[in-house]
Homo-oligomer: A and B are copies of this chain.
Amino acid sequence: MVHGGDILSYKNLYEGDIIDFSSNINPLGPPKILGNVLNNAFKDVDKYPDIKYRNLRKSISRYLCCSDDEVVVGNGAAEIIDVFIMMFNRIVVFHPSFIEYEKRARVHNKEVLELYLDEDFNIDEALLYKNIKKGDCIILGNPNNPTGKRLEEDRLKNIVEVIEDRDAFLLLDEAFFEFCPFYYDSIKLFRESRNVAVIRAATKFFALPGIRLGYAFTNKTIAQKYYELSLPWSVNTFAEEAGRVIFNETLYIQKTKKYINEQRHYMIENLRRINILRAFDTDCNFILIKLLKGDENKLFDFMIRKGILIRKASTFKGLDKSYIRVAVKDFDSNKYLIECFKEYEKE
């Protein structure tokens, strides 16, 4: 299993609907208003999307509090990561992190510097500073997938200072930004930098993985370079239309933040009562777990028979078969997961 969300591959293992804890999507579903919007968008599928995405970028720039020409859009965050990788000679990653960082760098025949997080899954800044050089692109998940950890504001500021000093580049992947308690906004912090891009996405928070809408803030010179490299019309009409309304759904946004916050606490608290695992701190809507009994395969087989799909984590470099990842979902599903863990403990 290379990515979460691949329910179709396991459908035959369970009669009935499988609860997908392997992909980290807002359990409240997409904003209700989208039904009508997408219905209307159907009228426009016989036209090309705006090749310059003028209205979409306007809507995103209002949401991010930056200007239109500092916004880039893509076919999910995946395309944005890919296009940024194309711009640089060497890519620096910290394992464990989202597998596509390294994979896309290899696809583009880039040199890859593979560093590892320390044993608490923090970035060893000394290690970073010793290694980076001009022209490098450092990619950091913030919060990081699969660890769930967000960089502290001061540490992030230090990192950016050193990166600017060396004339390297920082690609911050903040696809899970809105799930986090609000401590700081990287875009506000680095608005003036020429060495930073901040990726966000509609995929996770707005529960729209099927629609493929990623976007990022970056300096406008780099944004221009991005559009020279990216494919024409890569964002489809439905994503274009959705992006014009979802960011105005402030009630939905608040409700989701509150709900995820409550459920995250509920899950962490209850998982920590189970003795055969260790649940790591998380800033967002998924939890990395170290199993003290059995391994990812044993638990996977146990859970799939209960109708639960978990994410095995040994495909992340730096983790072994004792790790798994689960999403924070709706209360009933979360409660059921906890119960199943308790059963697994007793077995």
Chain A interfacial positions (CB closer than 8 Å to B): 3, 5-9, 20, 23, 25-26, 29-30, 34-35, 38-39, 41-42, 44-52, 54, 75-76, 78-79, 82, 86, 100, 104, 107, 207-212, 228-229, 231-234, 236-240
For the complex of A and B, the 3 pairs showing the least CB-CB separation, nearest first, are A210-B237, A45-B210, A5-B48
Closest to A74 in B: B231
Asked whether, in the complex, the Cβ of B42 is within 8 Å of the Cβ of A231, the reply is: no
Closest to A86 in B: B107
**A229→B109 CA distance, assembly (Å):** 11
**A52→B49 CA distance, assembly (Å):** 26
**A79→B337 CA distance, assembly (Å):** 39
Asked whether, in the complex, the Cβ of A51 is within 8 Å of the Cβ of B107, the reply is: no
**A259→B204 CA distance, assembly (Å):** 44
Asked whether, in the complex, the Cβ of A3 is within 8 Å of the Cβ of B232, the reply is: yes
Smallest distance from the beta carbon of A338 to chain B beta carbons, Å? 23
**In the complex, which of the residues B6, B47, B79, B238 contacts A5, with contact meaning CB atoms closer than 8 Å?**
B47
Asked whether, in the complex, the Cβ of A212 is within 8 Å of the Cβ of B229, the reply is: no
Given contacts A5-B51, A42-B34, A54-B8, contact A211 B237 (CB under 8 A): yes
Q: Which residues of B contact A3 (CB under 8 A)?
A: 48, 51, 232
Asked whether, in the complex, the Cβ of A44 is within 8 Å of the Cβ of B210, the reply is: yes
**In the complex, which of the residues B42, B100, B209, B228 contacts A35, with contact meaning CB atoms closer than 8 Å?**
B42
Q: Which residues of B contact A228 (CB under 8 A)?
A: 107
Asked whether, in the complex, the Cβ of B44 is within 8 Å of the Cβ of A79, the reply is: no
**Could you list 5 further interchain pairs (A-B, Cβ under 8 angstroms) beyond the known A210-B236, A211-B236?**
A3-B232, A48-B210, A75-B236, A210-B238, A212-B233
